[in-house]
Structure 1
């Protein structure tokens, strides 16, 4: 059909376009709104689902020729997987760029511990004399608690090892033998929070992890710990509990790449705290990570369209139907 296309709900990298366009043109929706996406679904073979738009049954039903969905990354909470599965539409994902998220988490820990942003401003604002007023923290001989020990969590553990850190993890779905093989001790969440100097959150967002970190956990977390969240904003109950913990000195630092609502309200009081380090959900958007992610996703989308088996599919049960 001459009007067949691949549609992306938001701008996508050139490597994906180069892979997909020989099969059918790649069109970028001018808006991330549902109305815009729905209006372009006729003739769409494959839909690239960026995080800005929630892909629900209404959008799927508008694509009469829709054969595949593609999510450029490991998370797919912006897609109604049940609706896609009920309609027999495979959802491709690309769990090949998690190393970049792990690197960001380590960089955030270092930035907070070494007060890099604050020290940078001292030099640039003629406050050199204040250097003795800032206490830098360490990584060596500290304990890193990783919540969610999948690909990203395991990569972070490997990054932490050369720093001489003790690494513990919480993940009810991971085998203890796997953790031990990486010199990581599996603990219950509460036990991990009590002993960790740094807590880094990396679970997938689902019913069991939504709101996993609650206000009561701020009462048991090690005093002065630093908390990093580069998973999904919904893993933490809300920003208020983190702001309260910072203001009360329970947490000495917080680094957030993700938020309960994105973009967050920039006037929230947590952003006024000097030890709150933030990024606009881009920890996984490094050059190499995005190249690998887009290449993997595009190739798997093509495989589905051409009747072949993809490498990474969220709902593989629909492939043979």
Structure 2
């Protein structure tokens, strides 16, 4: 009987913990005064931790933008490092309030793990990296190559289908982790690496010579990346979602961290609604009506975040491409605040 009581007590404790994790996240955030953000250290341009413990990067700034929306300042964030590409358990258990990046958006990741992708913040695509000595400028020129990919990954499946479809003869060199691919490539064990283009670009800037290696222009996929939150947590999902929409809308409307205060004099109704000058658009989210103004003042607009971490103002200097605004031929669009 005592054993049964112990088991029941343990089950009750587990249920309480699960219930706590599923409680309204916005209320918990407001009560603790901090946004707990899960991040992956060492992902250059997206999330990196300096020697003194300071976090920086594109994904990191998204979490800081959420802090600005809720608290009016961008620095009330506690970052926790989680390795690996699929980090949903800390979110499920309530260890963090938002995971800056987990894995690219698919249906199964929205339906099988009790978490929810919020909105795409970055579009990437699988690419191919080759040495200049190969003498090719396009993937269709490849022939009799040895391809490095992570064993069992979606990248392995995609590259095999692509090479088969293009009737390109190849040999396999599959490894357990991306770092192994780099070692094999440097040692000449393969002459093609396939991975997301952003990872290959970071590799060029960090470990390889950009003058001796080339990322081919073809993309084997179009993948959407972005933060994830827990399911059945509508208020928090809306806060995170509209934080990202505010960043995109601000860039489209020409509002930046440099001019946000002077833009309060604008007569443009779209600007005035976004900046909380007309209407009450913060209250339905459970945050101040100045939420978007605070975001822009704290971290800038989407273009500023992209520019300093990935684009023209960074070492990576990645072209915007699909991450350009829809008005400039890209895929970045946000519904209006109205």
Question: TM-score, structure 1 length as denominator?
Answer: 0.28
Task: Compare relative contact order (CA 8 Å, sep 6+) and give the higher one, 1 or 2.
Answer: 2
Question: TM-score, structure 2 length as denominator?
Answer: 0.27
